[in-house]
Structure 1
């Protein structure tokens, strides 16, 4: 159950960050509401996952790392942002770091 909550928290954070780009500097009311709702939902789900005894450092690393990687890919796929070899390398390092944290004993 905590891993499901963490996955939903990541998804919510990624949707909120995507909406942030679309909000035009928080000037579009509909997208601004989506941003606020997404981040509140994400933090609430992350807090609940931590309450169910996920290691804080591991959970946060996964939450932020997966979100960062997903946003970089979404930006390249749907928002016209560039995906350079350096960015791809950085994404792979983030994913590798999350894997190492999990192997190091995050329950």
Structure 2
């Protein structure tokens, strides 16, 4: 159940960040409102996930996968450039998240 809550938290966080970009600095009403709703729901589901998972692992996965998805959304939806150095550092983050998840299962 924790993984389902975490997946929902990640999807909602991605939606909140996309809404933030679309709000254009709070100059557009509905994307601004949606941003707050999505982020509120994301933190709520992250809170539920923490009932089933270690905090360090859940937060690392939430933020790590969020970084990857938001970076991809920036490229695909907003035509942002992602230099090779950024891609390399994102890969390092993903490796760190995987390592943290593996090491928590060992203990």
TM above 0.5, yes or no, is yes
SS in 2 for 1:81: coil
Question: Is structure 2 residue 91 aligned with structure 1 residue 92?
Answer: yes
Distance across 1 between alignment mates of 2:55 and 2:86: 27
Moved over 2 A (4+): none
How far 1:106 sits from its partner (Å)?
A: 4.7
Q: Deviations over 1:75-107 (max 9, x none)?
A: 011201101111110111111111101110259
Q: Which residue of 1 aligns with 2:63?
A: 64
Q: Which runs of 5+ in 1 are unaligned?
A: none
Unmatched runs of 5 consecutive residues or more in structure 2: none
Alpha-carbon RMSD: 1.3
Whole-Å Cα distance in 1 between the matches of residues 76 and 33 of structure 2? 24
Cα distance in 2 for residues equivalent to 1:83 and 1:71: 11
The residue that corresponds to 2:20 in the other structure is: 20
8 Å CA contact 1:20–1:31 kept in 2: the answer is yes
Normalization by structure 1: what TM-score?
Answer: 0.94
TM superposition score normalised by structure 2: 0.94
The answer to whether structure 1 residue 45 and structure 2 residue 29 are counterparts is no
